[in-house]
Structure 1
Amino acid sequence: MRKKLFSQLWVYFAVITFLLMVVVLSVFVGLLFIINHYQLVSPEKEGHLFPFYFIIFLSLMIGAALSFFVGQRILQPIGNLRQAMNKVSKGDFSIQLDEQHQMEDVEELYHDFNVMVKELNSIETLRNDFVSTISHEFKTPIATIKGYVQLLQNETLSQEDRQNYLERMLDGTQQLTHLTDNILKLSKLDNQGLGLDFQRFRLDEQIREVILFLQPKWEQLDLTLDIDLPHTDYYGNEEFLYQVWSNLMDNAIKYSKQNGSIYVHLKNEAEGQTIIIRDEGIGMTNEVAERIFDKFYQSDTSRKTKGNGLGLALAKQIVELHHGSIKVNSSLNEGSNFKIFLPNNLKNS
């Protein structure tokens, strides 16, 4: 693409330069022919140098017109691009160039620039979310553990208080372990890609295992589960798909209301398997739904709910590694509906 772009621009410059030389040469030849034919230059005639002045003036006008044309068609777009790149270098990732241009090469160049800026903006957003999340998620449990260690140094503590402090320290270490595990899993997925180990297993039984594992959580809220999981054999990565159902079910429980319902259905279709996990919880806005699968994104900036913004990003990446898709449909205060599709005949590559 790059070689083609610069090659076409070189041809354009060459054509403009050639036409400029042809036009100027034609004007000079024409004027010299007229001067010679009508004998306009003669020492005996008064003002015999006027034709030369006229030729010089006309040449300057033609050169200025062609220079303006070249500047507007080629140099001005390059200047606009330079100014835009200068703004990007200062951290302004909102700049976008108008892609409507007569030159196809400039139009493609502007389009590539706009795509680059959007990607940089996404990376900057991810970096900000990462710094905000990691700094808080590590700082809070570490501060908690440090505080309880200091309290445990008090020899007059009762056995009950000592046990309570130890349990809270354990909660802090589990929070740190969960965060680091998710980061390592994402890194593993980024590095290994489709090189994961695929095998055939019971998909319906795996989802049941997740539901049973989370039973203490949904029983605490008196949730009603509507489950339909027919016998399903699937060829995929069992370890990582377990994380998908675990994250989705945990979120469905966490954001559900007391005495609510959770709908978990598995449908066997000719093209693949469709899994639907729906809750009647707090739901989310369209703006949140658009970013819910971004790494380190948390809609609850107050951090009243536990989480580090990695669960759904991890789930999406795992599903996509199985050539599947995950979509969410949600309304505020009405719940969320997650639809996952896993295709059949997936080969380990």
Structure 2
Amino acid sequence: MRDSSKRPLTLRDVSEASGVSEMTVSRVLRNRGDVSAKTRAKVLEAARMLGYVPNKIAGALASNRVNLVAVIVPSLANLVFPEVLAGISDVLDKTELQPVIGATNYDPVKEEKTLFEMLSWRPSGVIIAGLEHSDATRAMLANSGVPVIEVMDVDGDPIDAAVGISHWRAGFEVGQEIAARGYRRVGVLGTKMDGDHRARKRIEGLERALSEAGISVVDSMAYSGWSGFAKGREMTAQMLDRAPDVDFLFYTNDLTGAGGLLYCLDKGLDVGGALGLAGFNAFDLLNGLPRQLATVDSRRREVGEMAARIITGEHVFEGDDRRVELTPTFLPGDTMRPKPA
């Protein structure tokens, strides 16, 4: 076994192990030049057995780029973003590009720092969540010289390109569904809006639809920290205590919605009849609940796939509008009254 305290492996080590020149080794590892299949296989096997990893930074000096795609999301704990990352990975796995992931915890200052560090490595593209950024972050993205794809949202003007759903429109459609099913006193349970702009837009769209139908939001609550069943139970109990006549509860996240659903069922409330509930995001994790929570499929995996296709050049825009707006799907589940015939 090689002593890890020794110098890093070099092309010479691979050359000696494979019995071919350093020039040939370089050509094989960079996939350049006319090298026979037999020689190529010999070099690759020697490199694999030695554990040799090419110095991509040195190789990038000529092109000024490395085969990395910077992917920046607010959270890895939130179930929304792993599906986006899976979509990105599915597409990039078929190329030489590799995603490098940073999480910001919805903090604009951390987003700036994360982006700065990633751009210093000269990636081949940037995929970043949301359209709202600090001035410094926007300047770095605009002057990066690589494709920049802002994902999860299309309600705004992208720096380069955007892929996602309209959260405002999705919220508006949920509001229309609530009104169409005869609910009239709505409570809203969401996150504190400092960094979660998409949740804010959903609520704004919901409130507009309800207002147009002559329905008011009678109470609202916001929490900080991570979404979860326990938080949903806690908030639901508090809201029903202080506004017992609400007949519909809208949660900006399925996890809090699931907690609210379990609380209401435990209390023997008429869920899906006198009391309606809806969440957002259509997490598969919730398929085993006693009732299927009404929700909205935000098409997260497809967002990641499309963003990666733009980075690789597989998707080409026609015209000046560089936004790909996907259509969310409303799923009524078992927690809302049927629409009147």
TM-score of the superposition, structure 2-length normalised? Answer: 0.27
Choose between structure 1 and 2 for higher RCO, CA contacts under 8 A separated by at least 6 residues. Answer: 2
Higher strand share: 2
**Higher-helix-fraction structure:** 1
Q: Given the two structures, how large is their TM-score scaled by the length of structure 1? A: 0.26
> Who wins on radius of gyration, i.e. which is larger?
1
